[in-house]
Amino acid sequence: MDTLTHALSGALVGRLLAPRRSAAATPAVVPPAAWQAVATGAVAATFPDLDFILGYVSELAYLRGHRGVTHSIVLLPIWGLLLAALMSRLFARDRTTLAGHGFGAFYLLACAALAIHIAGDLITQFGTMILAPFSDRRFGLGTTFIIDLPFTGIILAGLAASVLWRHSRVPAAIALVALAGWVGVGAVGRGEAIEAAHAYAAAHGIDAVAVDAAPRPASPFNWTAIVFDGERYHYAHINTRRSEPLVAAPDDSFIRRFSAPYQPVAMTRWEVQAQFGEGDAGELARSVWTAEDFAFYRWFAMFPLLDHVDNGSERVCAGFRDLRFEMPGRDELPFRYGLCSEARTAGAGWRLYERVSGGRRWIDVD
């Protein structure tokens, strides 16, 4: 999820968990006010995305570390302690003590907001290292596109209703239940897309090694269905609930324009591409794929596919893309990486690069 949605979700959790202030509360123990609970939730739910600073270390440090230790359920209690200490000290009347300003309440708020951030990333397909630092395995349910306007809208509606009914937790609770329901709708769409992919494989006699689906924008029923037969990717951009194609004019809403390329399952045109290309290109691609300097991309990519080959006079190069990020209407694909050999012989001194608009951007391997 985007950072703004994370912050809003933390604010919503903060409103739900804001402790009720009792007239019997002593001056020594003052629980946080509702607005302080909302602020604590927003700050704590933003905190995990501070790992963007890894980008200032290096490109590879960011790719390897994003959604890592700051998104870990193993380390969540520790991050919760640090954030609770920060926020309770910030709001304390007496800044010499933490216990006197409801530290326990701040700790609960911080941990809950961290948890909803992690959950918000887990429902996407990018992958989250929830077991870091003990494992770099990425987990992702893949039910929801990384930017989901209805998802964010539900949170905003819950916060707005909480302002109107400021003494009630009910609006926040209803919004969180609605969020879970919306994720459930995405799970239904995902199941339908995978079912369509299985049907395609069966109809064409494909012995599928893997069948999956990647969420797409504008609708929980827009998907890229993917079948891998061990050598080739078969993929199609589908809408699992549409019976007729959606036509979008240039002046239509951006949501309609984003959604139009996704065809009804019965009318889908499947594309087929060899993972490593064909002929000499395949040999070069396999050399790049197995190279030690390309280990980070083997770990990162979910659906790796040969993107381009360059047999130049001075060097040979091959690069890959990930079908997770390929969607209609996207002018520039992210996360396209490859290796070049400065000599004409593949593997004779690899150099890592990212494919960007206008050419290559060389990357130093740490």
**pLDDT tens, position by position, 246-270:** 998 888 888 898 899 999 999 999 9
Per DSSP, the residues of 235-297 read EEEEETT-SSPPP--TTS-HHHHHHTT-EEGGG---EEEETT-SHHHHHHHHHHHT-GGGHHH
pLDDT mean across residues, the chain: 90
pLDDT attached to residue 24 = 46
The pTM score is 0.90
Question: Which tokens sit at 150?
Answer: 């209805």
pLDDT interval class at 343 (50, 70, 90): low
- 107-111, 257-261, 326-330 — most confident range: 107-111
Q: What is the pLDDT of residues 184-243, one digit of tens each?
A: 999 999 999 999 999 999 999 999 999 999 999 999 999 999 999 999 999 999 999 999
Mean pLDDT of 293-310: 94
Q: What is the pLDDT of residues 55-89, one digit of tens each?
A: 888 888 888 999 999 999 999 999 999 999 999 88
Q: Please state, in angstroms and as integers, the Cα–Cα distance from residue 69 to each residue in 53, 63, 83, 146, 169, following that order.
A: 13, 13, 15, 20, 32
Is 233 strand, coil or helix? Answer: strand
